[in-house]
């Protein structure tokens, strides 16, 4: 699917950003980020970093063609988590929100995990159940259970909140 964006705006992975601007933190888009190819190195990214550059810049590899790519495991995990959440009677429109902000307590979140186990048809080991995790965190957790993914997270592991380490950096 083609991303509708100016040809002067290019997706950049965190690794390329750090090589280019090691002294500054990027401004990121933080929700509904498609999986794209970094215009500078070609690796899949969901980092939400976009930079301005002319098409004739020799560092830009994309040639102005910006495509999102799909990670089948993340798509499958999204479907599983969405089904479990709707089965619990919870409505949401933004996967970057925490379960807590949706009014979900630990007991309700545990029932969502039970539904996820049913859909996966296997037991899922969860170290702690913390409603502060986001829907996206649980999607990534389920995607890891499903198998290796083409998506390579560039956020340091210590800052990720997954069901096993929620709130514990």
pLDDT in tens, 36-85: 888 888 888 888 888 888 777 788 888 777 766 766 777 888 899 999 99
20 and 99 in a common domain: no
> Would 50 be classed as within a structural domain?
yes
> Would 145 be classed as within a structural domain?
yes
Name the pTM for this structure.
0.52
Name 13's bridge partners. none
Which backbone phi and psi does 85 adopt, to 5 degrees? -70, -45
154 and 83 in a common domain: yes
> Would 2 be classed as within a structural domain?
no
Q: pLDDT digits over 97-141, tens only?
A: 889 999 999 999 999 999 999 999 888 888 888 999 988 888 888
Parent domain of 38: 9-69
Enclosing H/E stretch for 110: helix 106-120
Specify whether the CB–CB gap between 36 and 11 falls below 8 A: yes
């Amino acid at each position: 699917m083609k991303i509708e964006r100016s040809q002067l705006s290019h997706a950049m992975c965190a690794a390329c950003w750090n090589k280019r601007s090691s002294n500054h933190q990027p401004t990121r888009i933080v929700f509904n980020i498609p999986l794209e190819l970094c215009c500078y190195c070609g690796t899949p990214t969901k980092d939400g970093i976009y930079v301005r550059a002319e098409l004739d810049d020799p560092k830009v590899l994309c040639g102005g063609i910006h495509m999102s790519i799909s990670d089948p495991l993340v798509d499958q995990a999204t479907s599983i988590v969405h089904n479990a959440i709707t089965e619990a009677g919870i409505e949401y429109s933004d996967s970057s929100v925490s379960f807590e902000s949706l009014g979900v307590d630990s007991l309700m979140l545990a029932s969502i995990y039970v539904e996820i186990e049913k859909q996966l048809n296997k037991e899922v080991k969860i170290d702690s159940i913390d409603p502060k995790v986001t829907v996206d965190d649980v999607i990534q957790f389920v995607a890891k259970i499903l198998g290796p993914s083409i998506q390579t997270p560039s956020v340091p592991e210590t800052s990720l909140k997954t069901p096993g380490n929620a709130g514990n950096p």
